[in-house]
Chains A and B, each alone.
Chain A
Amino acid sequence: MVVLLSKLPVADSVKLCHRVVDGLCGRQPPCRGDYSATWSLEEWLELLSSLTALFRLAVGNNSSDEEVLAGLSGVGSGGHADTVLSVLRAREEEIRRALLDRTNSISTATLQDFDWQLKLALSSDKISSLHTPLLSLSLDVREDGALRPVTMEMNRDELNTLINSLEAANKVMLQLK
């Protein structure tokens, strides 16, 4: 629960909240090692999940200050509620963008990253002089929350086919707009 936050001084809790938001936006989440003296593992996980849910709900529902403070009523003294609120207001845009991204990648498999390398095959086991350019394309596909690398190697024709089909897909996307 968010009440657990009051174990930490206000200055540190601001940092922690920002790190939580970082994790929400796809960057490094806070490290348990830094706070192992303050909370047990169970409490830590609970605090993290409740803070994340709080930020998400508040931004998703466009909650006003009063609503958020009402949700934080248990935190009580020491101005912790105000810190959480200020962090929320400061990072609202970022959180909204992260939520939109999450909504965009609603399908079962989404493309997270891609990378390519151009290689020049000088020879093969049958031909001594080949000199064929090959493109190795690696896609990081997120499937049910887990990353799955997909790697393929293509010659010029295959690459052209891929590009053509991707362009056709883009055209369909543009028509939807």
Chain B
Amino acid sequence: MEEVDKILIHALKQVGTEVSEEIDSVRQFSSELIVEAVVRCIRVIDPGLGSTLPTSLPPGMSARFRVGMSLAQACQDIGYKGEIGYQTFLYSNEPEIRSLLMCLVEKLPRESAETSDQPTGKSVVLQRAIAAAIKAQLAVPWLPTNCRLPLHGETQSPAALHNFHVQPLSLPNCSKGPGKKQLKELNDYQRDILPPVTAQPSHHASVVASILEQHTAELSAAQEWDNEWNSQGLLSRLTPQEYQSRKLTRLRKRIEEQLRSAALPSPESAFGGPRSTSDLGELLQAFRASAPSDHILTKGTHFTHTQKFTFTQESAAVTNSIPSRLQSEGDSQQRQQEELASLQQQLQQLCSDVNQLTADMKHMSVTNTQVLDELKQREMGNSEKEEKMQVKKKTIDLLPDADNNLLKLQALVEASAKRVVNLASQWEKHRAPLIDEHRRLKEICSNRDLESSRKLSEIKSLHDKIRVSTEEARKKEEMYKQLVTELENLPQDVSRSAYTQRILEIVSNIKKQKEEITKILSDTKELQKEINSLTGKLDRTFAVTDELIFKDAKKDESVRKSYKYLAALHENCNQLIQTIEDTGTILREIRDLEEQIETENGNKTVANLERILDDYKAIRQENSALAAKVREG
């Protein structure tokens, strides 16, 4: 029973009952403790039902009675089948209380049953941890800054929060493999000068942010490439390098087209010049030539560039003239002003010149293209006309000797027709095998195509399989990890293994006892059998003896005497057996009665009776006091 009581007390403590350390069995429970334990259990099982019940007994006797009644009713509502009433709580006896508490503890909702239904996974564990942390933080009351302890500093002071600032990091990349040999200079740098990654960012706070950012960038790049390769790259039947280079050229072409189309409509800008370039590199070279390299990349027009150019030139001129200016400081102010004015004038003039010139250039270029087109058309017309003229000239030459020439022409035509037929037959001869060959090759080609596509699909399915199995493995690993963490998080105060060991012991004990019981039963049966056979034998022997002696008794006097003795012996033996049996039954009855006495003693009947009497007296006193009050009133 002690094990059971320990489990019960542990469960009650978890529910929220305050059981003091000295109490380690149900026998020591007082009425107040029983009421508190039962009410707390009911509150957990059925909050609606339990919220109306008080956790402690009131001082008044009649109120106590009412509380006991309502508690008994609640227990029956929850589903307790045993006998229960107010007396169970007020005048407790151990076995009843134990069975009631066991029933209630069994009905407590199990947490493990809930958790096992939820979906598993690493993210779920993380989310649960986050939720728990947030809940704990929400439970902490907000305090003004002055009252904060260092314990609250982590969550409530804004000083601990840093902004997410990222700085590029330089990491030695070891995973490049042996194919790419590392430069000696790079090795030296990484060994001697490169600071550790925690010292690279200028603020210590951005170390974590930078590392996270770098990691995410690399990871997402790798994933994107993987996706693309699996979806498109595999189908293109190229090696990864070829695929990449093809993609690069395609992109280059696109950019070049975009740039050219953007540059063409505005020929006055500096980028309009290189129209005939055929390569992106050349185009970019052209850009570079026209736009001097700046610190900040700006998209400038030709105008801004020329302006900048003139300005720098002028500033150079100014710096050159510094020594001469030092000589005459008196009128330097005035001269500066004059110079400034003249320079500005010059600038304006130059600007307007440039504008005019660009407009002229535009105009000229347009007219130039027009003129070029016209020229081309004219040239084409010219050549056509020349051809026509030559044909006409020949016919005119042939006209004088018309008949002869006609015959000659006919002969020529016939000969050429014959030749054409001849060539056609020859061509047919050559063509047939070639066509056959072509067909054959085509067939082989299509066969190979089929095979390669089949292999491709195989590869794809293999890839899918690999992905699926890796995912499965990952899932299982996650589940394993989650289960391990859950196991670690489980309350350790109840030693599970001790319980299971105890249960196993009990089971083996029960088995042993069962064996013994069966042994005893078989023994009893054997004994019964023996007794039966012995009584039968006895009966038969007695009957035979009785008959024999009865026959002789008629003749002999002494034999008659012996017959009488025999009858008396038989009767006495019967009586003896009867007495022994009677003793057995009486002994059994005695044992039963003793047990009953023990249980009655366990029920604390006397003490309870005394308490009942006391309570009865208290109720009578209360009643009489009330009656007196009524009379007074």
Which residues from chain B contact A14 at a C-beta distance below 8 Å?
A: 193
CA distance A18 to B192 in the complex (A): 11
Per-position binary interface string of chain B over residues 183-223, scored 1 when its CB falls under 8 Å from any chain A CB and 0 otherwise: 10110110001000000111000000000000000000000
Q: Does A98 belong to the interface (CB within 8 Å)?
A: yes
Which residues from chain B contact A106 at a C-beta distance below 8 Å?
A: 297, 299
Which residues from chain B contact A114 at a C-beta distance below 8 Å?
A: 164
Which residues from chain B contact A102 at a C-beta distance below 8 Å?
A: 297
Q: Does B319 belong to the interface (CB within 8 Å)?
A: no
The listed residue (A26, A53, A90) touching B189 by CB distance below 8 A is A90
Per-position binary interface string of chain B over residues 162-180, scored 1 when its CB falls under 8 Å from any chain A CB and 0 otherwise: 0111111010000000000
Which residues from chain B contact A56 at a C-beta distance below 8 Å?
A: 293
Per-position binary interface string of chain A over residues 3-29, scored 1 when its CB falls under 8 Å from any chain B CB and 0 otherwise: 000000000001100100000011110
Chain B interface residue count, Cβ-Cβ cutoff 8 angstroms? 22
CB distance from B34 to the nearest CB of A (A): 40
Which residues from chain A contact B189 at a C-beta distance below 8 Å?
A: 18, 87, 90-91
CA distance A56 to B164 in the complex (A): 29
Q: A18-B193, A106-B297 are in contact. Are A27 and B167 (CB under 8 A)?
A: yes
CA distance A140 to B213 in the complex (A): 15
Which residues from chain B contact A138 at a C-beta distance below 8 Å?
A: 163
CB distance from B250 to the nearest CB of A (A): 9
Q: A14-B193, A28-B202 are in contact. Are A90 and B185 (CB under 8 A)?
A: yes
Name the CB-closest residue of B to A101: B168
Do A145 and B296 have beta carbons less than 8 Å apart?
A: yes
Do B164 and A113 have beta carbons less than 8 Å apart?
A: yes
Q: A18-B193, A57-B293, A94-B170 are in contact. Are A115 and B164 (CB under 8 A)?
A: yes
The listed residue (B166, B167, B170, B186) touching A89 by CB distance below 8 A is B186
CB distance from A97 to the nearest CB of B (A): 8
Q: Does A36 belong to the interface (CB within 8 Å)?
A: no
Per-position binary interface string of chain A over residues 85-118, scored 1 when its CB falls under 8 Å from any chain B CB and 0 otherwise: 0110111001000100011001000000111000
Which residues from chain A contact B201 at a C-beta distance below 8 Å?
A: 27
Which residues from chain B contact A25 at a C-beta distance below 8 Å?
A: 168, 170
CB distance from A116 to the nearest CB of B (A): 8
Per-position binary interface string of chain B over residues 150-170, scored 1 when its CB falls under 8 Å from any chain A CB and 0 otherwise: 000000000000011111101
Do A27 and B193 have beta carbons less than 8 Å apart?
A: no
Do A26 and B185 have beta carbons less than 8 Å apart?
A: no
Per-position binary interface string of chain A over residues 124-164, scored 1 when its CB falls under 8 Å from any chain B CB and 0 otherwise: 00000000000000101000110000000000000000000
Which residues from chain B contact A27 at a C-beta distance below 8 Å?
A: 167-168, 170, 200-202
Name the CB-closest residue of A to B228: A177
Chain B interface SS verdict (over half):
loop
Which residues from chain A contact B188 at a C-beta distance below 8 Å?
A: 86, 90
Do B186 and A90 have beta carbons less than 8 Å apart?
A: yes
The listed residue (A89, A115, A176) touching B185 by CB distance below 8 A is A89
Do A98 and B185 have beta carbons less than 8 Å apart?
A: no
Interface members, chain B 297-313 (any A CB < 8 Å)? 297, 299
Which residues from chain B contact A91 at a C-beta distance below 8 Å?
A: 189
Do A103 and B297 have beta carbons less than 8 Å apart?
A: yes
Which residues from chain A contact B166 at a C-beta distance below 8 Å?
A: 113
Do B168 and A98 have beta carbons less than 8 Å apart?
A: yes
The listed residue (B185, B193, B297, B299) touching A15 by CB distance below 8 A is B193
Which residues from chain A contact B296 at a C-beta distance below 8 Å?
A: 144-145
Do A26 and B168 have beta carbons less than 8 Å apart?
A: yes
Do A26 and B167 have beta carbons less than 8 Å apart?
A: yes
Name the CB-closest residue of A to B206: A113
Which residues from chain B contact A86 at a C-beta distance below 8 Å?
A: 185, 188
CA distance A115 to B209 in the complex (A): 10
CA distance A89 to B189 in the complex (A): 10
CA distance A176 to B257 in the complex (A): 13
A28, A98, A113: residue with the most chain B Cβ atoms closer than 10 Å = A113
Which residues from chain A contact B297 at a C-beta distance below 8 Å?
A: 102-103, 106
CA distance A91 to B170 in the complex (A): 10
Do A115 and B163 have beta carbons less than 8 Å apart?
A: yes
Which residues from chain B contact A94 at a C-beta distance below 8 Å?
A: 170
Which residues from chain A contact B293 at a C-beta distance below 8 Å?
A: 53, 56-57
CB distance from B132 to the nearest CB of A (A): 16
CB distance from A134 to the nearest CB of B (A): 15
CA distance A98 to B163 in the complex (A): 23
Which residues from chain A contact B185 at a C-beta distance below 8 Å?
A: 86-87, 89-90
CB distance from B414 to the nearest CB of A (A): 65
CA distance A176 to B164 in the complex (A): 30
Name the CB-closest residue of A to B194: A18
Interface members, chain B 272-305 (any A CB < 8 Å)? 293, 296-297, 299
- 18 example contacts (A-B, Cβ-Cβ < 8 A) are as follows A18-B189, A27-B168, A27-B170, A27-B200, A27-B201, A27-B202, A89-B183, A89-B185, A90-B186, A90-B188, A98-B168, A106-B299, A113-B164, A113-B166, A115-B163, A138-B163, A140-B165, A145-B296
> Which positions in A face B, CB cutoff 8 Å?
14-15, 18, 25-28, 53, 56-57, 86-87, 89-91, 94, 98, 102-103, 106, 113-115, 138, 140, 144-145, 176-177
Enumerate the 4 nearest inter-chain pairs by beta-carbon distance, A residue then B residue, closest first: A115-B164, A90-B185, A90-B189, A28-B202
Known interface pairs A18-B189, A103-B297; 6 further A-B residue pairs with C-beta atoms within 8 A, sorted by A's residue number: A15-B193, A26-B168, A27-B202, A90-B186, A90-B189, A94-B170
